[in-house]
Structure 1
Amino acid sequence: MPEWLNILLRSIGSLIVLFFLTKWLGKKQLSEMNVFEYITGIVIGSIVAFVATDLDGSVFHGLIAAGVWFVIPFAVEQVSLKNKTFRNITQGKSTILIQDGKIMEDNLKKERYSTDDLLEKLRDKNVFRTADVEFAILEPSGTLNVLPKKENQPLTPKIIGMTPAPEKEPQAVIMDGKVMLEPLANLSLNTNWLETELDKMDVSIENVFLGQADSDGQLTVDLYDDKIAVPSPSEKPLLLASLKKCQADLELFALATENTHAKQVYQINSQKLANAINLISPYLKS
């Protein structure tokens, strides 16, 4: 067999083996790894690369070595899930760098963190003054998680006493010009609704690269042709405008009529509708 063909076949086989080993080790191996996982990834990658390029080496021996480096980390991971002490040894422990607004200098030295390192990590979190931080902890993966002081935290509806309407994640109902039936069903919608909404936009399904619908029945689309402007969803603003018009009409009727009873009825219902508008306006403006 020619050497180039041998290397080609070895490389393809090694790539397939490495792909499955990485998937079996779990998603953590693909994201932020601890020290043990980092070492494992490097060694398995090196073994597979060696098997692919060393024509004098045995493929079987290389697979045995890769298997060992797969089985041991897999076993360690299983034990770590059930034993906190063992997990601390293999994965490490989190280290508090700022507590109650004060920098823990001893912990900085323990982690070999300089002041510049700490400030850089804080800037990554959009924090530029240590005085604004209530708590900061360095995770075993190297990520610094920061809790700002209460007065420096973003304003949320809960803080100002508002209760926002529950919202589900948008569903992709059109993808690559094709209707996705399951996401439509998840939103209790159908193809007739979808065609109606697209007709309002004067858009055909074939021209839609991606279409998403939310739990309020609003459809947003991205077209293959970026030069075509697509109107934004208008259901909520139209509903709010209709309610305000009804409330204004009731006030006009109350002013126009000379019947005392009718005037009172119009005024009462106008006030009720105004109160309802005040309650739902935050939801219809979002």
Structure 2
Amino acid sequence: MSVWIEIILRTLGMLVLLFFAAKISGKKQVAQLSYFDYVTRITLGGVAAIMAVDVDMPYFYGVLVIVVWVGVTYLFDLIALKNKVVRDFIDGKGTVLIKDGKIMEDNLKKEQFTTDMLLKQLRTKNAFNVADVEFAVLEPTGELNVLLKPDRRPITLKDLNVKVPDESEPQTVIMDGKIFHEPLATIGLNPAWLRTELDKLGVALENVFLGQVDSNGQLTVDLYDDKIQVPEPVEMQLLLSSLKKCQADLELFALETEDEKVKQMFGKNAKKVDEVIRKVAPILQ
């Protein structure tokens, strides 16, 4: 067998082996890897590279090294799932770098984390002033998680006592100009509804690169031709405008009538419509 053919076959074999090793090790991203995971991947990559090009080394030795290494790593992962001591030893623990707006200098030195590095990480979390930080933890992966003080956090709808319904994930109903029937059925819709919505937007199905339906039943599309402007859906805004007009009309009728009972009826219903508007406005706007 020619050397170059043997190298190709050995390379393909190592590629397949590393693929299954990666599948076994889970779906961790590079930024989520612990020191143990990082060392494991470097070692496996090094072994695979050597076995791919070193034709003098028995191929079985490389396969054996990878199988044993992955097996031991997988065993440690299983133990770590059920044992916190082992998990802390393998993955490490988070280190508090800021507490109550004060930098923990000893912990910075322990993690070999400079002040410049800390400030840089804080800026990525939109925290430009250390005094604004309630709590900052350096995770084992090297990521800094920051909790701002209550008066420095962005205002949420909950802070304003505005209740909004839970949202479900958008369903992709069109991809590459083709309708996906299963997601449509999942949200209780059909292709006829989809084609009607496309007609409202003035868009042909074959021109749609991606189409999604949100939890409110609103269709949004992305076209192949980015120069074409798709009009924004206006049904919800029109509904909100109609509700506001209805509320305004009821108040006007209450002012115009001289019958006290009728005035109270219009006024009472105007308040009810106003309550409805306040509840649905965050959704329809």
TM-score by length of 2: 0.92
One-letter amino acid matched to 1:216: N
Question: Counterpart of 2:121?
Answer: 121
CA distance in 1, matches of 2:267, 2:248: 10
- Indicate the SS of the match to 1:242: helix
Question: Counterpart of 1:220?
Answer: 220
Give 1:212 shift.
0.6
Moved more, 166-175 or 250-259: 250-259
- Indicate the SS of the match to 2:226: coil
- Which segments of 5 or more consecutive residues in structure 2 lack a partner in the other structure? none
Question: Counterpart of 2:203?
Answer: 203
CA distance in 2, matches of 1:259, 1:131: 62
Give 1:97 shift.
0.9
Contact 1:22–1:29 (CA under 8 A) maintained in structure 2: no
Say whether residues 1:25 and 2:25 are aligned partners: yes
CA distance in 2, matches of 1:29, 1:81: 18
Question: Counterpart of 1:15?
Answer: 15
Question: Counterpart of 1:145?
Answer: 145
Aligned residues: 285
Give 1:266 shift.
4.5
1:40-61 Cα distance to aligned partner (Å, 9 max, x none): 0000000111111111111111
Question: Counterpart of 1:191?
Answer: 191
Question: Counterpart of 2:86?
Answer: 86
CA distance in 2, matches of 1:271, 1:86: 61
Q: Percent identity?
A: 53
One-letter amino acid matched to 1:98: I
One-letter amino acid matched to 1:168: S
1:93-122 Cα distance to aligned partner (Å, 9 max, x none): 111111122111111111111211211211
Contact 2:254–2:267 (CA under 8 A) maintained in structure 1: yes
Question: Counterpart of 2:69?
Answer: 69
Contact 1:243–1:277 (CA under 8 A) maintained in structure 2: yes
1:138-188 Cα distance to aligned partner (Å, 9 max, x none): 111111111111111111111122212221121111111111122112222
Question: Counterpart of 1:273?
Answer: 273
Following superposition of structure 1 onto structure 2, how do residues 41-80 of structure 1 map, counting pairs within 5 Å? 41-80=41-80
Give 1:271 shift.
4.2
CA distance in 2, matches of 1:276, 1:35: 54
CA distance in 1, matches of 2:278, 2:87: 53
- Which segments of 5 or more consecutive residues in structure 1 lack a partner in the other structure? none
